[in-house]
Structure 1
Amino acid sequence: MKRMKFGASVIAALLLLVACTQPTPSKEEGRQEERQEKQTNPAYQVVAEQLRTPWSIDFDGATIYVSEREGNIVQIKNGVLTRQSLHTNKPVAQIGEGGFLGFALAPDFQDSGNAFAYHTYEQGEKLMNRLVLLKQEGNQWRESKVLLERIPGSNVHNGGRISIGPDKMLYVTTGDSGEEELAQNQESLAGKILRLTQDGKVPADNPNAGSYVFTLGHRNSQGMAWNSKGEMYSSEHGPSGTPGGHDEINKIRAGSNYGWPEIIGDEQQEGMKSPIYHSSETAIAPSGIAFDEKDHLYVATLRGQKLYEFQPENDSLKVVMEGEGRLRDVKIHNGRIYVITNNTDGRGVPSDQDDRLLVLESFH
C-alpha cells in the first residue's frame, strides 16, 4: 500500500504551527511521560552530572569531551568538569531538535587542538546546518574554518552525527529536514550520509564526482560506526504517524540508496537497500551506536530508553541497560561502555542529577 506523502506547502504550514506553540516531539524521538522504574543493570559509575542536553561523546586519552546542544563543550579531566565556551561565526540555534550536535576530535588533536563540529543556525527565516573546524584555545573553542554550510535543517530531522572513518575521511549524517522528498534528491544534502576530506573537499573516490553524497535515502540517521573489518553501519529513525516505528540499523555501502521515503521495513524496491534490522511498528528512536573490540554493536535509544546490543545472528536487540531514561550516545573506550542520558531535552523527565555520563564495564 502506498503511504500518504505531503507536499512542501502542507509541511511548511505544519512547521509554522509547531513554531507558534510549545515544542512538540516528533513521534520517533518521543516524549517520556514518566521515568521507567529502574531495572537491574550492569554495574556502572556516574562520571558527570547536570549536563545540559548532551549530544556527543569523544575522548583524548583519559580526558572526555561532551557536546551540549545549547552550544557548549564539556571537558571532564581527572574527575573535574569544565564547561568550555564555544564561539562560532554563525550563532548556534537550539530550536526543536537542532543545536550544537555532532562533535569529533581531529586525529591530530593533541598537536593541533582541532575538532569537527556540526550545528544548526538560522539563515534568514530558514534553519540550516553547517560543518565547521574548531580550535581549542584554553577553555574556549573558536571556529577556524567552514567546511560545509547550507545543509537543510528544520525543527526536526537534522541528523548531526560526525565520525572519522578508518579511511581517515570525515563522515556526516544529515536528516531530511522534514521534507521527505529531499532524501531521494541527489542534488540536496538532506537525508544523506556525506563523506569529506578533513579539509572539507570532496574525495576523489566518492561515488559521484564532485558530490559529497556517500549514500542517500535516509530519514534521520544519528549513529555511525565501523567494525574491525572496516564495515560501516548506521542507525536511523523510521516514520512517524501510521505506520510508525520501523527504526533501522543499516549496513552502509558507498553509493547505495536506503529507500526513504519509498520503502520502509522489509519493503523492497529495485535499486534500494532494506535495513539489516528494523523495529517493526515499535518506535525505539536509535541514536549513537558503537562497536566493541569483539564487534558487538551497541545502540543508544531515545524513545526506547534502553541501551541495546545488536545480535546479527538472529537480527534482534538484547537489552544491556534500562531505567535511566532517554539515551543519546554510546562510545566504547578502553574496553568500557560510555553512555549519555538525554532527559533534559524537553521530552524526558529529568532528575536533579540529569543529564549524566555513565560508564559500564564491558561484560563480554
Structure 2
Amino acid sequence: MPAVLAAAALLLTAGCSSGDGDSPGKGGDQAPSRTTASPTRQAAETPPAQGTVKVVRTVAEGLSTPWGLAPLPDGDLLVSSRDDATITRVDGETGKKTELGEVPGVSPAGEGGLMGLALSPDYASDHMIYAYFTSASDNRIVRVLYDEQRSAGDQLGAPDTIFKGIPKGYIHNGGRIAFGPDRLLYAGTGESGDTGLSQDKESLGGKILRLTPEGEPAPGNPFPDSPVYSYGHRNVQGLAWDANQRLFASEFGQDTWDELNAIKPGDNYGWPKAEGKSDDSTYHNPLAQWGTDEASPSGIAHAEGSVWMAGLKGQRLWRIPLNGTEASADPQAFLEGDYGRLRTVVPAGGDKLWLMTSNTDGRGDPRDGDDRILELQVT
C-alpha cells in the first residue's frame, strides 16, 4: 500500500461496532481477474489527487427503507424497499414514484429483507429483474418478470428462485448483486454473525459469489463446481468494476477497520483472522481502510477514475482515486453529515452518480423528505 495510504490510516480512528452503521453488539449490515494496463494507459487513467462533488438535484423523496437501486435504460430508476418488500419505479426526471408490486417470500427482520437489485444483461428483450432477499430460511436470489402493460402494483411476475441457501441472520446478510462486464452475476454475502463461515470455502456465507444468469456456478470460477469467487469476507455490500473490468468490493469491519478491496479470484480476504491490513501474506490486504466510525460502507460505484463509496455510520461519500488496483492518493470525504446515512451509489453516466440515503431503516435520524435519491456530478 502506498505510503500516503498508510499515513491516512493513522489519521482514521477506530470506532465502535460498525453494524450497518451501529448495530447492537458487534457486527451489522455493514459491511474478474486483474488485467495489467500499460504504464501509459495507467497514467492516463489516474485521476487527480483532489476531486469535487456537486449535488445537482434531489431526484426523489419519501422513500421507505430503500436499499437496492437499478437504473433502467430510459433513465428511470428501480428501488427496492427492504422492509416493505416492494419494488418502485422512480421517474428519473420528475421523481414520480410508481409501485410495481411486492416480492413474495421476503421475511424482513434486522438487517434482512428485500435488498439488492440488478437488471438482466438481456433486459431489453427479457425484462427480468434480479433481486436478493432474506426469506424465512435463508438469503436467496430470484428473478421476476417486469410487465409494464399490467396495472401499477401488479407488474411483477411470480419469482423464479435461481439460487438459495445463503446463510441468514439478524445481522450480516450481505445483499448486493450486480452483473459484471462478463455478463455473469456477482453477489456479496455476509457471514450472518457466524464468523467461522467466512473461512469455510464450502459455506456461502462471507463470500463473493459468481453465477450464471440461471444461478449455476460460473465457468472459470477458482474452485471447481463452486459459486465461490473470493472468501474471508465479513459482510460485502458494495461491488463495482473499473474501465478495465477489475472488480472492487467494500466490506464492513467490526471494531477497527472497514475496507475497500481489489478482488482477485480465489483469494482470502482474512476475516475473522485479519481485519484491515495484515502482515500475514495468506490474506489479501485491502487497498484502503477506514476506522469504522468513518465509513461502515455499503454501496460503491466507479466513475471518473475513482471508486465512490457510500458510508452509513460515517454519513459521508468517500472518493478513492485509483491507479490500477492501488489507490493513487488519500481517500477524500464529501457530504459529511449533509444527508445522513448513505446506502447506495450507482453510475448515472459520465461524471454523474445516483446516491441514495438510508435514514428510515431504524438506525438513522429521518429528516423531512427522507429517504431520497440525489443526482451528483463528480470529478
Check conservation: 1:120, 1:153, Cα contact below 8 A: yes
Residues 270 and 359 of structure 1: is their aligned pair in 2 closer, same or farther, counting only changes over 3 Å? same
Q: TM-score, normalised by structure 1?
A: 0.84
**Equivalent residue in structure 1 for 2:62, among 35, 42, 50:** 50
Q: Kindly indicate whether residue 318 of structure 2 is the aligned counterpart of residue 308 of structure 1.
A: yes
**Equivalent residue in structure 1 for 2:156, among 113, 132, 141:** 141
Check conservation: 1:48, 1:357, Cα contact below 8 A: yes
Amino acid at match of 2:178: S
Question: Cα offset for 1:314?
Answer: 4.9
User: What is the DSSP-based 3-state SS (H/G/I as helix, E as strand, rest coil) of the residue aligned with 2:146?
Assistant: strand
User: In 1, distance between residues paired with 2:180 and 2:25?
Assistant: 31
**Equivalent residue in structure 2 for 1:113, among 115, 120, 127:** 127
Where do 1:44-83 residues align within 5 Å?
44-61=56-73, 62-70=75-83, 71-77=85-91, 78-79=93-94, 80-83=96-99
User: In 2, distance between residues paired with 1:29 and 1:196?
Assistant: 23
**Equivalent residue in structure 1 for 2:262, among 224, 240, 251:** 251
C-alpha RMSD of the superposition: 1.9
Structure 2: give runs of 5+ residues left out of the alignment: 1-22, 31-51
Q: Which residue of 1 aligns with 2:253?
A: 238
Amino acid at match of 1:131: I
Question: Cα offset for 1:105?
Answer: 0.9
Question: Cα offset for 1:56?
Answer: 1.5
User: What is the DSSP-based 3-state SS (H/G/I as helix, E as strand, rest coil) of the residue aligned with 1:42?
Assistant: strand
User: In 2, distance between residues paired with 1:225 and 1:305?
Assistant: 20
**Equivalent residue in structure 1 for 2:139, among 125, 129, 138:** 129
Question: Cα offset for 1:86?
Answer: 2.1
What's the CA shift string for 1:83-142, capped at 9, x where partnerless?
Answer: 221233xx211100000001001122122110111000112xxxx101111111333223
Question: Cα offset for 1:192?
Answer: 0.2
Count of matched residue pairs: 321
User: In 2, distance between residues paired with 1:118 and 1:59?
Assistant: 16
Question: Cα offset for 1:25?
Answer: 7.2
Q: Which residue of 1 aligns with 2:192?
A: 177
Where do 1:82-121 residues align within 5 Å?
82-88=98-104, 91-121=105-135
Where do 1:13-28 residues align within 5 Å?
24=24
Q: Which residue of 2 aligns with 1:198?
A: 213
Check conservation: 2:190, 2:233, Cα contact below 8 A: yes
Residues 157 and 229 of structure 1: is their aligned pair in 2 closer, same or farther, counting only changes over 3 Å? same
Q: TM-score, normalised by structure 2?
A: 0.81
User: What is the DSSP-based 3-state SS (H/G/I as helix, E as strand, rest coil) of the residue aligned with 2:266?
Assistant: coil
Check conservation: 2:249, 2:260, Cα contact below 8 A: yes
Q: Which residue of 2 aligns with 1:353?
A: 369
Greater share of strand: 1
Q: Using the aligned pairs only, state the percent identity.
A: 37
Residues 25 and 74 of structure 1: is their aligned pair in 2 closer, same or farther, counting only changes over 3 Å? farther
Q: Kindly indicate whether residue 357 of structure 2 is the aligned counterpart of residue 337 of structure 1.
A: no
